[in-house]
Amino acid sequence: MRDAEDLHQRAVEAANTSEYARSLELIAQARARTADADLIDRLDITAAWGEGELGNHAGAVSLCQGVLAREGVSRLALGLAHAQLGMVLMRNGDTAEASDQFAAALEPLQDLPEHLAGVHTNRGYMYLKLNDPLRAADDFTRATDLYGAAGETLLRAKAQFNLAYAQLLRSDLVAAIRGMDEAAAVLIQEAPINQAIVEQDRAEVLLASGRAQEAAAALEAAVTAYGNAGLRRFQADCEIILARTVLADDPARSRALAARASRRYDAHGSPVPATQARAAVVIAEIEGGATTKSLLTRADALAADLRKAGLRHDADRLALHTARLAIRRRELPDAAARLAKVRTNADSPISIRLLTRELRAEHAAARNHPGRSRSYARQGLGELHSWQATFGSLDLQTSTVGHGQHLARLGLRAAMADGSPAVLFEWSERARALASRVTSLRPPPDPGLAADLTALRLADPADVPARRVLRDRIRAHSWFATQGTVGEPTDLATLQARLAVDDSALIAHLVLDGSLTALAVTATDATVIPLGEAAPVRTLLDRIAADLDFAAQNRAGPMGDAVRTSLRADLAKVADLLIRPTLSTVGYRRLVLTPSALLTGTPWTELPGLIGRPVTVPTSATAWLESAREPIGAMREVGFLAGPRLARAEEEVRRAHDSWPRGHVLAGAEADSVRAGWLAARVDLLHLAGHGTHPGDHPLFAAVELADGPWFGHDIDLLPRVPDVVVLSACDLGQSSVLHSEESLGMSAVWLHAGARAVLSSLALVADDLACEVFASWHHQVAGGAAPADALARVSAETDDVVPFLCFGAGW
């Protein structure tokens, strides 16, 4: 038969794994088997833990107070009783009294490191609830150190996980991700429910990093797990985060989730979290378009309750959304008063800082002050980019641009209202450079990333779970890259001075509120040209994409001829809509094109008016100026890779190689990822011919197939240097995934971000024989001194077929 002390230990272990009902059963058994006063004190304290988590707040308080009122209580029991009472009070929202109880617990536990660490952990959790991540981080750091010194691996992992969450609230995404991943490896092994806890908090990192869909999937799994375990309070916590996650895309669902969480908190006897949930309901109603005066009244009462509870950030977030409602109701003085109540600083969450700038910009626009609106939007984007510069990962930089999307639209809208070409050019650059304004250094060598990429290459395609784990780990590796630097967009005068050097021109296509506008710029002129609705162009481009693929697979025969006839007609229609109205301004010059992401997939070099004309497509005019600071020089070292399962790949690279006095060719078994990395780091021009893949969900996993498997976009981060010019003669590798409306990412963008000056790739399928002929001619001209875009223009003009290759970056 087990003795009472053993039963108590098992009760503590059950509570540690959230099995609170089981813990209380074991405590009842232990009480029946002991008369030891000290053990009874500790049983009551552990029982208070279980009762509190199961919703019996009054019973939990009574148990703790009973221990504190007794005579002769040991220092251990005294400290634990104060600590547990603090925890119960904190759970119920009485943070002031909870803080006093935690402070009272510290002295009796000074000589008991493990228990002292527990107090720091719980007080840190309270500071998290109070939106005070700085003091929370201090407590969690102390707890992590104490647990580590005591050899408590599991408890140290819990403290470390909470520290990572505090770092998330301080907008340090990389530290948060690193800490959570390290701690999760320990926590998940302890109990199945910890998987849900890890997923819940990690989902907040995903949400902060702009990956809302992944965050929602993780949260939905956690909500189900909590529900199955009967942990309604945890389930409500998770539903609130999920409500925030889906707010932008589905306000009605957000409202339903927050309302459900509110009911769970009420049933649990947790008034302060219930208030937070009701505030989330109001925010969802506002974002869903509600405009009633009564909604403002409800919101104001909730904001007052949140401030009274010490939840300043929650109150500020609600106040900002009520300001949006007041703007929508055209009650502009009231909106101004609401905005004036919100004060942010460097320690405020990045989401609140950006939302503040956003609402101030909206308010200025409503008052017909476009200059002020642009100023607030500019300030907000500056804060976003400063934050992005704290992590060097292209993946993370690109995913976080969603935070600045509305700010960029507000600035662009105000620029359109102004009408000045210089102002519109500035906001054209800001809108399309939400990620690319941050330039990151080459990351240091990462053996772990290399090992995981190798494992992914060799993984069984049918083993989806294993591949998912590897992909997640690879992304995490890339997030820990070196920090970046933020550059300012160039101005119109600087651009025009550069255009004068080689008598070139720029066309920036902009999409705003469903309408297309072109800004056409030469060395001496800049003109704003309205182009009409955007939707018909997108419809044509979708049809063109399908026809390009069909034409590549059916180069001969009546069906192929019919598709080409239709394709040519659609290309002419797109040219009429996008190019012809600009030609009177740009004349016949080399063209730099910076199209909106809505125009991704446009085969620019095949549009009438551009056929035979050198065209280059950088991520922005600013990026083009940086890459084109000097002409692309002679290619001293040239490398070629021919992947497997492509009939004429080896013929293509060998014919291309014939144009060069020397070069390196890797084909067959030699064309593997290791040798590819070796070659890419040593040449000025790299040509890859092979099968390509472009997964739209994670574009950095775009890949070209080599002898040992796919060579990914992530592999490029392992290169110590990259070539000036890269040719991707692989189907699909010219494709991009559009992220957050104005950011697109694919293999071409990955090479450019890594430092390549120009990348040639195809937007669609290309017949093997056509690619072979095109690049034999292209290399002959480049070897003779032609710039990449100039050579591509000549080849396209000389070819009867459609050649959907583009030059990205700086083509001359």
- What's CA 422's distance to the chain center, in Å? 31
Residue 689 lies in a domain: yes
Please check whether residue 448 is in contact with residue 477, taking contact to mean a CB–CB distance below 8 angstroms. yes
pLDDT of residue 622: 93
600 and 689 in a common domain: no
Residue 556 lies in a domain: yes
What confidence tens digit (pLDDT) does each residue in 772-803 have?
999 999 999 999 999 999 999 999 999 888 88
This prediction has a pTM of 0.77
Question: Please, what's the b/e burial string for 551-583 (b: 16 or more CB within 10 A of its CB; e: otherwise)?
Answer: bbebeeeeeeeebbeebeebbebbbebbbebbe
DSSP structure string for 85-135: HHHHHHHTT-HHHHHHHHHHHHGGGTT-HHHHHHHHHHHHHHHHHTT-HHH
**Number of C-alpha atoms within 13 angstroms, CB side, residue 789?**
28
Please check whether residue 610 is in contact with residue 604, taking contact to mean a CB–CB distance below 8 angstroms. yes
159 and 19 in a common domain: yes
Strand partners, 642: 667, 689
Give the number of other Cβ atoms within 10 Å of residue 664's Cβ: 17
Strands (E), 325-392: none
Point out the domain boundary residue: 210, 239, 272.
Answer: 210
Please check whether residue 725 is in contact with residue 719, taking contact to mean a CB–CB distance below 8 angstroms. no
- What are phi and psi for residue 561, nearest 5 degrees? -65, -40
Pairwise CA distance, residues 358 & 407, whole Å: 6
Residue 705 lies in a domain: yes
Residues 6+ apart with CB under 8 A from 630: none
788 and 668 in a common domain: yes
Please check whether residue 532 is in contact with residue 512, taking contact to mean a CB–CB distance below 8 angstroms. no
Distances (CA, A) of 606 to 564, 618, 794: 12, 18, 12
Query: Does an H or E element contain 455, and which?
Result: helix 447-458
185 and 55 in a common domain: yes
180 and 37 in a common domain: yes
Shortest CA distance to 521 belongs to which of 542, 495, 501? 495
Parent domain of 46: 4-210
- Write the CATH number for 17: 1.25.40.10
Q: What is the DSSP letter of 804?
A: -
pLDDT of residue 743: 43
Pairwise CA distance, residues 66 & 55, whole Å: 19
680 and 585 in a common domain: no
pLDDT of residue 741: 42
Pairwise CA distance, residues 37 & 78, whole Å: 13
Query: 3-state DSSP call for residue 632?
Result: coil
pLDDT of residue 737: 44
650 and 530 in a common domain: no
Q: Can you give 264-275 as a three-state secondary structure string?
A: HHHHHCCHHHHH
Distances (CA, A) of 626 to 121, 476, 589, 619: 49, 29, 20, 11
- Write the CATH number for 781: 3.40.50.1460
Q: 676-679 — which CB contacts under 8 Å span 24+ positions?
A: 676/641, 676/706, 676/711, 676/715, 677/715, 677/718, 677/719, 679/639, 679/641
Q: What is the DSSP letter of 709?
A: E
pLDDT of residue 739: 43
Pairwise CA distance, residues 753 & 758, whole Å: 11
Question: Please, what's the b/e burial string for 106-125 (b: 16 or more CB within 10 A of its CB; e: otherwise)?
Answer: eebbeebbebbbbbbbbbbb
Please check whether residue 620 is in contact with residue 429, taking contact to mean a CB–CB distance below 8 angstroms. yes
**Number of C-alpha atoms within 13 angstroms, CB side, residue 626?**
20
Distances (CA, A) of 480 to 24, 384, 388, 444: 44, 18, 13, 10
Point out the domain boundary residue: 210, 233, 258.
Answer: 210
168 and 46 in a common domain: yes
CA angle in degrees (0–180, nearest 5) for 468-469-473: 115
144 and 51 in a common domain: yes
Residue 423 lies in a domain: no
pLDDT of residue 483: 58
Regions in the chain scoring below 50 on pLDDT: 1, 734-744
Shortest CA distance to 579 belongs to which of 599, 612, 539, 608? 608
Q: How many residues does the chain have?
A: 812
pLDDT of residue 745: 56
pLDDT of residue 742: 42
Residue 194 lies in a domain: yes
Shortest CA distance to 440 belongs to which of 758, 750, 807? 750
Please check whether residue 428 is in contact with residue 510, taking contact to mean a CB–CB distance below 8 angstroms. yes
35 and 131 in a common domain: yes
Distances (CA, A) of 746 to 476, 603, 701: 18, 16, 9
Point out the domain boundary residue: 160, 175, 210.
Answer: 210
711 and 579 in a common domain: no
Strand partners, 667: 642
Pairwise CA distance, residues 505 & 529, whole Å: 15
The total domain count for the chain is 3
Residue 371 lies in a domain: no
Residue 241 lies in a domain: no
Strand partners, 739: 743
Query: Does an H or E element contain 520, and which?
Result: strand 515-521
Give the number of other Cβ atoms within 10 Å of residue 250's Cβ: 17
Residue 97 lies in a domain: yes
Tokens of 388: 């992005």
Residues 6+ apart with CB under 8 A from 678: none
Strand partners, 745: 737
- What are phi and psi for residue 302, nearest 5 degrees? -70, -40
Query: Does an H or E element contain 762, and which?
Result: strand 758-762
Burial of 374 per CB tally in 10 Å (0-12, 13-18, 19+): buried
672 and 558 in a common domain: no
Shortest CA distance to 360 belongs to which of 383, 379, 385? 379
Residues 6+ apart with CB under 8 A from 276: 240, 306, 311, 314
